[in-house]
Amino acid sequence: QSALTQPPSASGSPGQSVTISCTGTSSDVGGYNYVSWYQQHPGKAPKVMIYEVSKRPSGVSKRFSGSKSGNTASLTVSGLQAEDEADYYCSSYAGSNNVIFGGGTKLTV
Amino acid sequence: QLQLQESGPGLVKPSETLSLTCTVSTGSIKSSDSNWGWIRRPPGKGLEWIGSIYYSGTTFYNPSLKTRVTISVDTSKDQFSLNLSSVTAADTAMYYCARSSTLLGHLDNWGQGTLVTVSS
């Protein structure tokens, strides 16, 4: 099972919006609504920002939103702030009791 | 807030077995609504799901690692463990333990991670 495809990098200026894509197949992203997004700052553990495609955990800023169309999921960060600069990973249930991650996107603000 | 902490050797020789333990505190591993997993991040690469276990002992493994991975649970110690056999340099990575509500669920509690280097 191949990793989900993410752009290696993304960038935006403070206050702008940026969208990160996560492309899979009909066997993973397209087949299930179990897509999650994780934020990881250097030296820190990942933190879930979005789960089940578009749900936001308690405490996560409303500036983070998720969506899905076909085999591609997206994470949008609006009103970019310096603290949003981090690596972002998507993950999806891939059937047959398997979970896969994307290769990660480095967001520069 | 649930706390997870990885422990184990930071250096493993090629062909040997990597063994890590995750200790769960401020909560119990014997939770019917918890799935306990291992994830790794090789240097310069993305995250990779290794596998997970319910406290009942039911396990799930990444197909690409399945022949080398064993995950087990010790409910008396609130710990779960990872064994990865026949390691090579490609297994050098930061290893994380984490919790989700189910195998399909998101990972909502993570350990801080432990770096394991495979080298002679």
Residues from chain A that touch B66, judged by Cβ atoms under 8 A, are none
pLDDT in tens, A10-40: 999 999 999 999 999 999 999 999 999 999 9
Partner-chain contact B63 A101, CB within 8 Å: no
Partner-chain contact B111 A89, CB within 8 Å: no
**Are B50 and B57 a contacting pair, CB within 8 Å?**
no
Partner-chain contact A32 B104, CB within 8 Å: yes
Instruction: State chain B's mean pLDDT as an integer.
Output: 94
Taking residues A88-106, report their average pLDDT: 96
DSSP state, residue A82: G
pLDDT in tens, B45-101: 999 999 999 988 999 999 999 999 999 999 999 999 999 999 999 999 999 999 998
pLDDT at B120 exceeding the cut of 80 = yes
Partner-chain contact B110 A46, CB within 8 Å: yes
- For A89, which of B46, B52, B105 is closest by C-beta distance? B46
**What HEC string does B27-75 produce?**
CCCCCCCCEEEEEEECCCCCCEEEEEEECCCCEEECCCCCCCEEEEEEC
Mutate one of B106, B109, B110, B112 to test the A interface: name it (highest A CB count within 10 A).
Answer: B106
Q: Distance (Å, rounded) from C-alpha B98 to C-alpha B3?
A: 9
User: What was the pLDDT predicted at B104?
Assistant: 86
pLDDT in tens, A44-74: 999 999 999 999 999 999 999 999 999 999 9
Mutate one of A37, A55, A97, A101 to test the B interface: name it (highest B CB count within 10 A).
Answer: A97
Q: Which residues pair with A39 in a beta bridge?
A: A47, A88
User: What was the pLDDT predicted at A1?
Assistant: 67
B97 min Cα distance to partner chain A (Å): 10
